[in-house]
Amino acid sequence: MSPPAEAAVARGRTALVTGASSGIGRATAERFAAAGYRVAVNYATNAAAGEALADRIGGAAFGCDVADPVAVERLIGAVEATLGPIDVAICNAGFYEERPLGVISDELWERTLRVLLGGCFHVTRAVVPGMRARGAGSIVTVASELALVGGVNVAHYVAAKAAVIGFSRSLARELAPAIRVNIVAPGAVDTPLLPDRDRGPGYTSTVPLGRIGRPEEIAEAILHLAEAPWTTGALYSPNGGVVIQ
């Protein structure tokens, strides 16, 4: 594994990105590395992609299922032993499966909540003590545009993402002023999770800006909120104008 990038060493800050082996997580890890952070690249199962990304950006890769609270505690310990105290935690890990209400199994319902909502809970609970002890920290959770408007065949997904918003807003109040907590709720973005139907003109013609988003655009939003010194509890939804609030 390559050593941390020189810019990151000079800046001396560490960012943890969960679900970083592809999509928005990968773009976020790349963006934070470019901004001078030492980046902890978390992956659930795709070790090859996680290790390759970490090597390319001068970070370190860590396998962990964020649905497992014990594994997350070990993850945080390993990251801080390897890269130093975590200054920024980006809770991005997730998955997306469409199912009508009548065929959402108990297993899928529970797994969705454990990964999307539980992952945020487990990571924040594990990083907050250290951030409090140091008197500073920043957490960004990744929700979804669908949490604002709902969707068809995604009640389980929307329920979890909407809960992430409520969880994050509550923490923003509870953890201030030392720790800031903000939310990014992306619209349709060009990642492996996006259904093919949302890539064509049938969908993009309904988007005021005329296209789906790019992962690097969401990564830029995450970096901005992570570093915005007078912002906490904010919900930013880069979605091309589909949802205007």
Residue 51 region by backbone torsions, left for phi larger than 0, else alpha for psi between -120 and 50, else beta: alpha
Interatomic CA distance for residues 171 and 180, integer angstroms = 8
Backbone angles phi, psi at 116, to 5 degrees: -75, -50
Catalytic residue among 37, 43, 96, 157: 157
DSSP string, 18-64: SS-SSHHHHHHHHHHHHTTEEEEEEESS-HHHHHHHHHHHT-EEEE-
Interatomic CA distance for residues 161 and 115, integer angstroms = 10
Interatomic CA distance for residues 107 and 117, integer angstroms = 15
Residue 19 region by backbone torsions, left for phi larger than 0, else alpha for psi between -120 and 50, else beta: left
Residue bearing tokens 């969707």:
151
- Is position 157 annotated as part of the catalytic site? yes
* Contact (Cβ atoms closer than 8 angstroms) between residue 223 and residue 34: no
Q: Show which residues are catalytic.
A: 157
